[in-house]
Amino acid sequence: MDIGTKITTLRKQLNLSQAALAKKVGASRTIIGNYERNLNVPSLDMIVKLANVFNVSTDYLISDGKFAQYDKEVLKRIDAIEQLDKETKSKLFFLIDSITQNFKAKQAYQ
């Protein structure tokens, strides 16, 4: 998905008009429309502002990578896990693995 489509989708999810989004990021409605139609590419500064309004990572806006879809809350948790000691991580991963295996088993039997 291109950046214009992402901006449009996220804006609509927040029930914002182009004018309302423009006001939040300090731009004009015309500029937002141009971004959404991929006529202009947002600067890095604008990408940061848009990401903050939408509560997504800048990676989400500019990337098509596997991890780009994660919202900021998921990324914060991943960062917190990285700070844990090895033993605590091991226990947490055991718990996560157990829950995900249970979920997959339930899906398989439905």
Q: Tell the burial category of 83 from Cβ atoms under 10 Å away from its Cβ (0-12, 13-18, 19+).
A: exposed
Single out the residue of 43, 39, 40, 37 nearest to residue 25, CA to CA. Answer: 43
Q: Which two tokens stand for residue 100?
A: 């995900």
Say what the pLDDT of residue 59 is. 84
The fraction of the chain above a pLDDT of 90, given in percent, is: 69
Q: Which two tokens stand for residue 63?
A: 């990337």
pLDDT 10s digits, 47-62: 999 999 998 888 888 8
pLDDT 10s digits, 71-86: 777 878 888 999 999 9
pLDDT 10s digits, 87-99: 999 999 999 999 9
Say what the pLDDT of residue 20 is. 97
Contact 47, 61 (CB under 8 A): yes
CATH code of the domain occupying 3-69: 1.10.260.40
Alpha-carbon distance 56 to 37, whole Å?
Answer: 20
